[in-house]
Amino acid sequence: MATRRTFIKNTLFTVTGLTILPSYVVSGVKRSEVFKAPSDKLNIAGIGIGGKGHPNLVGMNTENIIGLCDVDWKYADNCFKEFPQAKRYKDWRRMFDEIGKDIDGIMISTPDHTHAIIAATALTMDKHVYCQKPLTHSIYESRLLTKLAEKHKVATQMGNQGNSGDGVRQLCEWIWNGEIGEVKEVHAWTNRPIWPQGLQRPTAKMKVPPTLDWDLFLGPAPFRPYHEVYTPWNWRGWWDFGTGAFGDMACHVLDPVYQALKLKYPHSIQGSSSPINTESPPQSEKVEFRFPQRDNLPKVAMPEVSVHWYDGGLMPDRPDQLPDGTDLMRDGLGGCLFVGSKDILLCDCGGFNPRLLSGREPDVPQSLRRVPGATGYTDGYHEQDWVRACKESPESRVETSANFSYSGPFNEMVLLGVLAIRLQNLKKILRWDGDNMKFTNISPSEELVIISENSFKVIEGHPHFDEKTEKFNALAAANEYIKHTYREGWILPAMPG
């Protein structure tokens, strides 16, 4: 059975007058033409409930939480206690088999590498889907979820809660009104990672805890022996399970950039970082995206723009207009600088608290829909906007702002940032064909050299460095990063035609 590495090497509720269908019709399993009263509640099941999934479900607790699934029942115990009436599972496939007909919506907050297979399966069952960020682990998976959501006409939402906030809407209205002029340069940053990265695969053998199903945790990823360093929580620091600091935070920090500047696919990317290896993302990194000119808006042009990312303690240079002492990390998460031809806009993570460095306060009328209560970076309102959308008929639904038609393409951009780091040793600006999901300037004969082991010792007062590397076919590696080879027994639903 080939692993990814050998593969690479070898080649009725009413909102604004809209009427909602009962739960069994909303879910796509239409068993009757009878309508229920507006107070009808959704039946929601949560998958991955030990971490972020728990507060997500609390944000949905106006509805019936009927199923809970997690591979680690010790880690999930608090959520089990929160919803004692819900049926408990370790395998989401068994849950779908046993109570799938009763489920209207699925909340997914598993590690990144299992988002797509669960969400895609749920979509093919006509279930509404709320999926944590990053939406998927690979670019192909994001494209798949975008297409499936379009086909099945269900309500979807990625879990980047700032997307429902007032801040990003105000920021967009300012930029679209021409308040800072044309934007040709953006800088964005985060303080992540706050978990270990740059790790090497542990060699020590450990016994799997009795409360954890290790094989189900691995899911479609290649098999590796269990070690406590992988889960819970620290799976983000491993390429096979997570997408590092970039995948974790760019879905929050870059959301106002993607939205306000009406971006789609970049035409090129490049990245650099602290030392990177075959197992784990680096401790710090920089990425540059370059996007082509977009259609001009009535009050402002949309010229070619470069977007610069920093994490792991790296930060952009401070502009001259920024007052001394201004903390660019004042919310403890990150932020953005939009450099316009007339002014510079600074915001916190997720677009909250936009302000102009000139000190001027724009007076721009609201033109975008506001989500009730979405004034801070908290859980609840983002989830409830998805609940509302689930209860509206597909023909008249007011879509959530982070629905998969938006968050799918946006997540492709985020994952391209991850690829810019993983492919940096090719030492080139990578040219990207977004429509066809491929790099256009990686040849079939190129090699990608990546550190596999790196150790340092002092022996008799002298330093000794021991660095080992592995060579990969660069094009095969890039293609595998774009579309993963799943472990035997794990099959992703097909891309709609």
- Domain regions of the chain by residue span: 12-160+380-403, 164-356
User: Given CA atoms 373, 329, 163, 359 in this order, what sign does their dihedral have?
Assistant: positive
Write down the pLDDT at residue 26: 35
**What is the predicted pLDDT for the residue at 29?**
34
Cα–Cα dist 319/357, whole Å: 9
Q: Give me 84's structure tokens.
A: 């004692």
The answer to whether 205 and 369 are in contact (CB under 8 A) is no
Question: How does 447-476 read in b/e, with b if 16+ C-beta sit within 10 Å?
Answer: ebebbbeeeeeeeeeeeeeeeeeeebbbbb
Return the bridge partners of 356, or none.
Answer: 345
Tokens encoding 263: 């971006």
Estimate to the nearest angstrom the gap between the alpha carbon of 138 and the chain centroid. Answer: 10
CB neighbour list of residue 138: distance below 8 Å, 6 or more residues apart: 116, 415, 481, 482, 483, 484
pLDDT value, residue 446:
97
Q: Which residues contact 330 (CB under 8 A, 6 or more apart)?
A: 348
Query: What beta strand segments (E) does 330-422 contain?
Result: 334-340, 344-348, 355-356
Strand, coil or helix: 275:
coil
State the 10-residue block means of pLDDT for the chain, 497 residues long. Answer: 44 30 34 40 97 97 97 97 98 98 98 98 98 98 98 98 96 98 98 92 94 98 97 94 96 98 98 95 97 98 98 96 94 96 97 97 96 86 97 96 98 98 98 98 97 83 84 98 97 95
CATH of the structural domain 12-160+380-403, one choice from 3.30.830.10, 3.40.50.720, 3.90.1170.50, 3.40.720.10: 3.40.50.720
pLDDT of residue 328: 95
pLDDT, position 352: 95
| pTM beyond 0.75, yes or no | yes
181/80 Cα distance (integer angstroms): 51
- Return the residue matching tokens 């602290």: 274
Mark residue 101 as left, alpha or beta (left: phi above 0; alpha: psi -120 to 50; beta: remaining).
Answer: alpha
CB atoms within 10 A of CB 375: 13
One of 3.30.370, 3.30.360, 3.10.620, 3.30.450 is the CATH number of 164-356, namely 3.30.360
Question: Which residues is 451 bridged to in the sheet?
Answer: 277, 469
Q: Taking Cα atoms as reference points, which of 216, 257, 194 lies closest to residue 118?
A: 216
Note the pLDDT of residue 458.
Answer: 79
* pLDDT at position 455: 79
Which pLDDT does position 465 carry in this prediction?
A: 78
